[in-house]
Structure 1
Amino acid sequence: MVNRVEITPKAAEIIARLKTQHGALMFHQSGGCCDGSAPMCYPVGDFRVGPQDVLLGKIADCEFYIGAAQFEYWQHTQLIIDVVPGRGSGFSAEAPEGVRFLTRSRVFADEEVAELEAAGPPARAA
């Protein structure tokens, strides 16, 4: 099964470090607030997801959500979460580490789109 969201090994290393500091984490793909369109990482419970948030999947055992309006734009692409040097201007948990998460993407192949469509739409947050 193709995943709607993936993570680079380098980003997974940062998440492992952040988990030791903050405990369980979650992600929300920002739609323009704070740090542009950066993926934002929060300790579980510090960011409230609602029924308009779509659960894309998990990366490094962290749930990854995106707003429904953003999902409409990104639904034909796989999001690949990476990390780069430099601080973002948002409230994401990695900011004190001197790095920031970054979303890269690639368009799904026709076969992958068919597979995702057959699986049905992704779940929404409760």
Structure 2
Amino acid sequence: MVERVEITEAAATLVARLAAQHGPLLFHQSGGCCDGSAPMCYPAGEFRVGPQDVLLGSVAGCPFYIGAAQFEYWQHTQLILDVVPGRGAGFSVEAPEGVRFLTRSRLFTDAEMVVLAAARPPERGG
């Protein structure tokens, strides 16, 4: 199975700590508003997922969504959720920790694209 989204060990450790504090979480890949195109982490239920949001998969037990328009541009890449020192957006739950989530990416191989093309399209939110 080809995963559209992955997570680094450092990010998974932070997600576990944040989930212990805030309960279930979800991620949404921002489309460029307040903090560029940063992945945003919210307590589940505090971000309204709509029909324009595409579910890329799950990282560390948390659903990871991206807007449909942004997915059109990034559908040929695997997103890799990482964490780096620094202050991100105040809306994302990691902001008080002195770190921020960051999306890295890599192009899918031709073989992976064949597998993805044969699979069902990702689900939509809402």
TM-score of the superposition, structure 2-length normalised? 0.98
| Superposition map of 1:1-126 within 5 A | 1-126=1-126
SS of the residue corresponding to residue 31 of structure 1 reads coil
Contact 1:53 1:125 in 2 (8 A): yes
Q: Which amino acid aligns with 2:56?
A: L
Residues of 2 paired with 1:40 and 1:117: CA distance?
A: 28
Unaligned runs of 5+ in 2: none
Residues of 2 paired with 1:69 and 1:10: CA distance?
A: 29
Give the deviation of 1:34 after TM superposition.
1.1
SS of the residue corresponding to residue 10 of structure 2 reads helix
Q: Which amino acid aligns with 1:27?
A: F
Residues of 2 paired with 1:120 and 1:110: CA distance?
A: 18
SS of the residue corresponding to residue 114 of structure 2 reads helix
Contact 1:87 1:98 in 2 (8 A): yes
SS of the residue corresponding to residue 15 of structure 1 reads helix
Residues of 1 paired with 2:28 and 2:90: CA distance?
A: 12
Contact 1:5 1:80 in 2 (8 A): yes
Tell me the matched-pair count.
126
Give the deviation of 1:90 after TM superposition.
3.8
> Identity of paired residues, percent?
76
Residues of 2 paired with 1:85 and 1:40: CA distance?
A: 15
Unaligned runs of 5+ in 1: none
TM-score of the superposition, structure 1-length normalised? 0.98
